[in-house]
């Protein structure tokens, strides 16, 4: 079973540009959450960075959709 190539989110303008970048963001978020079964602590710095990226990209995506709604 081959793994999908890891996407460098730092080089992606917006995580909402494609399903693959959203999936990669999600995978990184899950990993950063840690694992209570294996006693892996959450990486709070990475989680904060990923949440900030989500909010910024989401707001940008909504801003791009607003002009389309105003035309209707």
pLDDT tens digits for range 13-26: 999 999 999 999 99
Q: Is residue 59 part of a domain?
A: yes
pLDDT tens column, 40-67:
999 999 999 999 999 999 999 998 877 6
Does the structure show a pLDDT above 50 at 1?
A: no
Residue 6's pLDDT band, with cuts at 50, 70 and 90, is: confident
Domain assignment of residue 67, given as a range: 16-71
Ordered DSSP codes for the chain:
-PPPPPP-GGG-S-GGG-HHHHHHHHHHHHHHT-BTTTTBPP-HHHHHHHHHHHHHHHHHHHHHHHHHHHH-
Does the structure show a pLDDT above 80 at 69?
A: no
Q: Is residue 44 part of a domain?
A: yes
Domain count, the chain: 1
Q: Is residue 8 part of a domain?
A: no
């Amino acid at each position: 079973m081959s793994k999908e190539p890891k996407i460098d989110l730092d080089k992606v303008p917006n995580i909402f540009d494609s399903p693959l970048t959203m999936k990669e963001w999600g995978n990184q978020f899950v990993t950063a959450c840690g694992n209570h079964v294996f006693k892996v602590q959450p990486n709070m710095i990475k989680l904060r960075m990923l949440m900030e990226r989500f909010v910024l990209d989401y707001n940008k995506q909504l801003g791009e959709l607003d002009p389309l709604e105003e035309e209707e």
